[in-house]
């Protein structure tokens, strides 16, 4: 790159400007700080515009380091040989520092070699990226054992409350008025999701533009797939959250010739953090692979924007919220289905650790029977003694033999 142009860009990037707005401190920051004195390269990946840059800004406010945003269109011609020139310009402008913040660095093929050199010379390096596949491939090739990978998702319910300048209530403070307010805020969270900028501007066009950026920049431009069938897959998935789907079903819908192509589409969608597949649990890995999947979106408002939704499907969005919470916590997630069905199983290591049902309400006996029967079957199958049913507002405990079933509002569970 031209020296003068690069120098101008780096001056702009490192002129830190305090934002005159409420900045929500992300829950992930605590985990990031745990690794700050660790020499490992800290990699933060996640959906476009989910707050990675703001998170880096928060770190820059606390720690003095160099900053470069590789999503700047003026760096489109930046290549690996330019890294050394960039380093020399940074040192010339700002003196010698040993802390580096690189935003959306996966845009520069071969970046990991430079990051490794910085690491080998005892510098602390933070990088962000919005494509899990590219990052993992590069990290596995040249940075094995030299990095820690952390994932940032859109706002959790707790972070949503902070944005609203609301405090999460303590159990002793749960009056009827407090509970009613929390239910109202939770319903708003389910509807509006957790994309930070959308929650501030409330413009649907913003979500549509974000979706287009993911489809065109993160998938179509990188993988050279067909636009129409890809969008059909996304529309179908967003319209059928939490329902069983199969690759063969989607193959017929899109008129593609191979179910393998559908699987690749989902790989690309997962790599871009737009949506995720959940497999039916089975001890046989082969059966897991070939079982029907369930799909959930990274954000309920995006799913509502790009798919078809009716009022009867609102319970599926509650499932989506629960899925995302489990995903943030780092659980491996499955669903259970034999004679009955249970929405979520979580696994840590080789053991199933939780069985969870999600239901909008338990107001009629038929729904209670379905949810309890499915949960009990999962508990018995996986030798668990405690199960959980999450609803909009019901709260109680049921003892059935040696099994205890806790029923509680989703919003309370999210804040625990």
> Cα–Cα distance between 332 and 346 in angstroms, integer?
6
Sorting pLDDT into bands at 50, 70 and 90, what band is 309?
confident
The confidence score (pLDDT) of residue 222 equals 87
Task: Give the range of the structural domain holding residue 395, as residue numbers without chain letter.
Answer: 319-416
Tell me the per-residue pLDDT of 110-161, one tens digit each, with 9 for 90 and over: 999 999 999 999 999 999 998 876 667 667 777 888 999 999 999 999 999 9
Is 111 part of any domain? yes
What residues contact residue 168 under an 8 Å CB cut-off, 6+ apart? 158, 161, 415
> Cα–Cα distance between 273 and 298 in angstroms, integer?
6
Last residue of a domain, one of 89, 118, 152: 152
- Give the closest residue to 238 by CA, choosing from 207, 271, 275: 275
Sorting pLDDT into bands at 50, 70 and 90, what band is 407?
very high
Is 176 part of any domain? no
- Domain total for the chain? 2
What residues contact residue 263 under an 8 Å CB cut-off, 6+ apart? 247
Place of tokens 């969270």: 189
Sorting pLDDT into bands at 50, 70 and 90, what band is 20?
low
- Give the closest residue to 102 by CA, choosing from 50, 138, 53, 47: 53
What's the chain's average pLDDT? 93
pLDDT of residue 107 exceeding 70, the answer is yes
> Cα–Cα distance between 147 and 136 in angstroms, integer?
11
The confidence score (pLDDT) of residue 311 equals 66
Tell me the per-residue pLDDT of 243-300, one tens digit each, with 9 for 90 and over: 999 999 999 999 998 999 999 999 999 999 999 999 999 999 999 988 999 999 999 9
Tell me the per-residue pLDDT of 343-371, one tens digit each, with 9 for 90 and over: 999 999 999 999 999 999 998 999 999 99
> Cα–Cα distance between 186 and 184 in angstroms, integer?
5
Is 269 part of any domain? no
> Cα–Cα distance between 78 and 99 in angstroms, integer?
21
pLDDT of residue 84 exceeding 90, the answer is yes
CATH code of the domain in which 82 resides: 3.40.50.300
Last residue of a domain, one of 152, 169, 204: 152
What's the rounded mean pLDDT across residues 87-95?
98
The confidence score (pLDDT) of residue 133 equals 66
The confidence score (pLDDT) of residue 294 equals 98
> Cα–Cα distance between 411 and 322 in angstroms, integer?
10
From first CA to last CA, the distance across the chain in angstroms is: 50
- Give the closest residue to 129 by CA, choosing from 236, 245, 234, 273: 273
Is 101 part of any domain? yes
| Sheet with 124-129, edge to edge strand ranges | 66-69, 99-103, 124-129, 41-46, 147-152
Tokens of 237: 């998935």
Last residue of a domain, one of 152, 168, 200: 152
> Cα–Cα distance between 33 and 406 in angstroms, integer?
35
Is 170 part of any domain? no
Is 196 part of any domain? no
Is 240 part of any domain? no
pLDDT of residue 80 exceeding 80, the answer is yes
The 3-class secondary structure across 193-214, one letter per residue, is CCCHHHHHHCCHHHHHHHHHHH
CATH code of the domain in which 404 resides: 3.40.1350
> Cα–Cα distance between 358 and 390 in angstroms, integer?
5
Tell me the per-residue pLDDT of 171-224, one tens digit each, with 9 for 90 and over: 666 778 889 999 999 999 999 999 999 999 999 999 999 999 999 999 998 899
Is 39 part of any domain? yes
> Cα–Cα distance between 390 and 385 in angstroms, integer?
17
């Amino acid at each position: 790159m031209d020296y003068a142009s690069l120098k101008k860009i780096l001056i702009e990037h490192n002129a830190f400007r305090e934002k005159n707005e409420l900045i929500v401190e992300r829950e992930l920051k605590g985990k990031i700080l745990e690794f700050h004195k660790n020499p490992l390269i800290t990699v933060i990946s996640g959906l476009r515009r989910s707050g990675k840059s703001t998170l880096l800004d928060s770190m820059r406010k606390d720690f003095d380091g160099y900053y470069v945003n590789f999503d700047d269109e003026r760096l489109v011609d930046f290549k690996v040989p330019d890294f050394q020139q960039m380093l020399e310009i940074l040192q010339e402008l700002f003196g010698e520092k040993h802390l580096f913040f690189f935003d959306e660095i996966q845009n520069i093929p071969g970046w990991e070699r430079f990051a490794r050199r910085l690491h080998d010379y005892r510098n602390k390096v933070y990088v962000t990226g919005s494509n899990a596949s590219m990052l993992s491939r590069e990290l596995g090739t040249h940075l094995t054992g030299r990095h820690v990978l952390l994932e940032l998702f859109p706002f959790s319910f707790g972070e949503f409350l902070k944005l609203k300048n609301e405090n999460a209530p303590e159990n002793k403070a749960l009056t009827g008025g407090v509970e009613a307010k929390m239910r109202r805020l939770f319903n708003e969270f389910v509807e509006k999701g957790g994309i930070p900028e959308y929650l501030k501007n409330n413009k649907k066009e913003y979500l549509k533009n974000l979706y287009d950026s993911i489809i065109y920049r993160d998938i179509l431009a990188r993988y050279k797939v067909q636009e129409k069938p890809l969008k059909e897959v996304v529309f179908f998935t967003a319209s059928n959250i939490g329902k069983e789907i199969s690759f063969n079903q989607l193959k017929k819908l899109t008129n593609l010739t191979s179910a393998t192509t559908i699987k690749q589409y989902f790989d690309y969608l997962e790599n871009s953090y737009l949506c995720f597949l959940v497999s039916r649990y089975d001890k046989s890995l082969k059966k897991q692979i070939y079982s029907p999947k369930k799909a959930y979106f990274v954000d309920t408002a995006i799913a509502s924007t790009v798919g078809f939704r009716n009022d009867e499907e609102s319970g599926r969005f509650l499932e989506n919220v629960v899925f995302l919470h489990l995903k943030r916590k780092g659980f491996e997630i499955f669903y259970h289905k034999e004679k009955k069905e249970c929405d979520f199983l979580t696994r840590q290591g080789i053991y199933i650790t939780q069985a969870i049902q999600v239901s909008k309400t338990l107001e009629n006996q038929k729904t209670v029977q379905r949810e309890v029967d499915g949960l009990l079957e999962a508990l018995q199958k996986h030798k668990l003694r405690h199960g959980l049913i999450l609803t909009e507002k019901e709260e109680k405990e049921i003892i059935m033999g040696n099994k205890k079933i806790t029923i509680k509002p989703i919003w309370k569970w999210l804040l625990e």
